[in-house]
Chain A
């Protein structure tokens, strides 16, 4: 089995597994938009619900990519690098999801005869009256968001299912103790800034003042995707095959 076949396999699995979820979420988001428009009685419809459902689809796709791929592909003589790069090759699915979100929202606005108020447009402070630039930016940004979420799903399932339990406990303890120490300091002394919060805000938004600097957000998401992919790459290279699991 070569690299091309492994990519084909991954795509077929991804489409099969997420197809049902995708259809269900499209249906659900359509109903939600409709109910929301009727309930709020406004002359616009929001695209937040379809986007959130797409995030769920991307996350599920990421989670299932590891379990469906790793052992099977390894047993079929695909190299470990090949396994990882075939996952990267499935990331453009996110672009499809982002475009379909736009289409669903657009269709909903046409059916309801309401102005489309984009969730992402508000988030990134695009000018709503300047749709051409806004749509392109939105689609790119949504794709990056979905890719980050898909990589997160892939990373989490790899980490929690295959890495030694000792490392998992250590990581969780480290994170929890860090947050606990900071919370205690913040609560008792009132002198310490919530460093995690400020760092995350500065990292993603580009400022702590509530602004979202759009270019900054693009780079931050790219960095997150890079880190997650590299970590999973290292795990893919070092993991043992799970012999407890039967391979179909």
Chain B
């Protein structure tokens, strides 16, 4: 996986008493737009690297007929989602 740190549009489910769970997100690569539904969240990690609070989601989805692993990041202070690694 390569670090992209690309801001993305995301639809997220906020459940009471749980960390927000990403449902789907949109991103653009090589001029092509992808809309990806998150099939599985494999791991969630709270991080504070460089003092910046974030939640890192290790996810899995079928993209172009292929099962792929990638990481989504939620930046708490900015309330922003990033496609962190793919």
Q: Do A and B come from one complex?
A: no
- List residues of B whose CB falls within 8 A of some A CB: none
